[in-house]
Structure 1
Amino acid sequence: MKQATTLLLALLFSSLAFAQSGYRIGAKVNSFTLKDGQNQSVELANFKDAQVLVVVFTSVNCPYAKLYENRLQDLAQTYTGKGARFVYVNTAIGLEEGGQAPKAQPDRPSTQNFPFLIDEGQQLSKQFGATKAPEVFVLQNSADGFYLRYKGAIDDNPQAEAYVKQRYLANALEALLAGRSVPAAELRATGCLIKRF
């Protein structure tokens, strides 16, 4: 009985530690450097001209991510001219055979107008605490760096865009670009679970 209780407590504490990993709302985001599809380094400092940076953790193998591709393209087109920038980070979700690292941008549409980066060793998804694909992290630029202002879901209906009632990411962008705080700053994302190696 004592061993079972000890095991249960250990599992509880480890799950709590995992749930709280990554950045909390309001935290300053550390610099990062990832490679793009042309093996060029892209770092957080490359986005210093943006008022707001949307980091989208995704996977080219995730059906949920595919459902959101057009919505994210539309959001990027709408908000890029208003001071926001978007960056995709391709991370492993557990569907990749043998746990191999995903490629940066296989079969990506040429119309994408934002960087598509590879999360080698899952460094960035661990740093941010991303658990699903797709999951968004909205960073606000300030004089001393980027701060996390929203994380989680893109909207409330992954399957059917026509039935979306709450546009969480769009609402967060509207608020931040207007100089307001985000009312609901953390909402659980629906998507493919990011596999930890």
Structure 2
Amino acid sequence: MKKTIKLISALVIVLSVSAFTIASTNIDEGYKIGDVAEDFSLKNIDGKMVSLANYKDAKGFIVIFTCNTCPYAVMYEDRIIALNNKYASKGYPVIAIMPNNTVKKPGDNFDAMKQRAKEKGFTFPYLIDEAQSVYPKFGATKTPHVFILQKGDGLNIVEYIGAIDDNYKDASAVNTKYVEDAVDAMLNGEEVSPTETKAIGCSIKA
């Protein structure tokens, strides 16, 4: 009888752990290609709240999770500015979001974000995911991590996820500009290819 009880207890524990593991792997996996991205409302460096719905005339968005303190993100800042300069007027503005826990990364706090944006002359919103509630929905894991959205029938459809290009070290040595190729394809009514690449950067600090 005791052996039976121990066996049942052991099975309950195993099943509980298995259920937890399955649940954990299914939580916050983030968007996949073709998913509808939920809108959000986050504070911009000017203190105003920004949502995708604010951009009535946009055809889509280049959403980039980035920060001040990651060397990879810093190396991409000029390229992010260039993306907004090239595509905002064509209907695809950059929306930059800082996802890090600012207690762990004080160099990414709101005042530091404002200072960095001023120094670099950011021409796009630089939003703080203060509650860290937006980046898990997207499934962002790195800074920088890009999600390109296409507007259609009032929805924001995920069309590309991944890196900005194939060379974080040297902009002049880039062979494939993933984000530019994706947005150009959408502007021309063509299929995006590739739809996913591996984001290279620092892990987001929760």
TM-score category, normalised to shorter length: 0.7 to 0.9
- Partner residue of 1:121? 131
Q: Is the 8 A contact 2:150 2:159 kept in 1?
A: yes
When the two structures are superposed, what TM-score results if normalisation uses the length of structure 2?
A: 0.82
- Which structure dedicates a bigger proportion of its chain to helix? 2
Q: Is the 8 A contact 1:136 1:151 kept in 2?
A: yes
Tell me, in whole angstroms, the C-alpha distance in 2 between the residues paired with 1:123 and 1:8.
Answer: 26
Correspondence list, 1:1-197, <5 A: 13=22, 16-17=25-26, 21-92=29-100, 96-98=102-104, 102-103=109-110, 104-108=113-117, 109=119, 111-196=121-206
Q: 1:9 to 1:158 in 2, by over 3 A?
A: farther
Amino acid of the structure 2 residue aligned with 1:65: A
Tell me, in whole angstroms, the C-alpha distance in 2 between the residues paired with 1:59 and 1:173.
Answer: 23
Deviation, 1:9, is 6.0
Amino acid of the structure 2 residue aligned with 1:80: A
Mean CA deviation greater in 75-84 or 186-195: 75-84
Tell me, in whole angstroms, the C-alpha distance in 2 between the residues paired with 1:12 and 1:165.
Answer: 40
SS at match of 2:191: coil
Tell me, in whole angstroms, the C-alpha distance in 2 between the residues paired with 1:136 and 1:62.
Answer: 15
SS at match of 1:121: coil
Mean CA deviation greater in 153-162 or 8-17: 8-17
Mark the runs of 5 or more structure 1 residues left unpaired by the alignment. none
- Which structure dedicates a bigger proportion of its chain to strand? 1
Amino acid of the structure 1 residue aligned with 2:40: F
Tell me, in whole angstroms, the C-alpha distance in 2 between the residues paired with 1:73 and 1:122.
Answer: 24
> Structure 1 stretches (4+) deviating beyond 2 angstroms?
6-18, 96-102, 104-107
Deviation, 1:188, is 1.1
Q: 1:162 to 1:82 in 2, by over 3 A?
A: same
Deviation, 1:16, is 3.8
Deviation, 1:14, is 6.5
Larger radius of gyration: 2
RMSD after superposition? 2.5
Number of residue-to-residue matches in the alignment = 191
Tell me, in whole angstroms, the C-alpha distance in 1 between the residues paired with 2:159 and 2:131.
Answer: 25
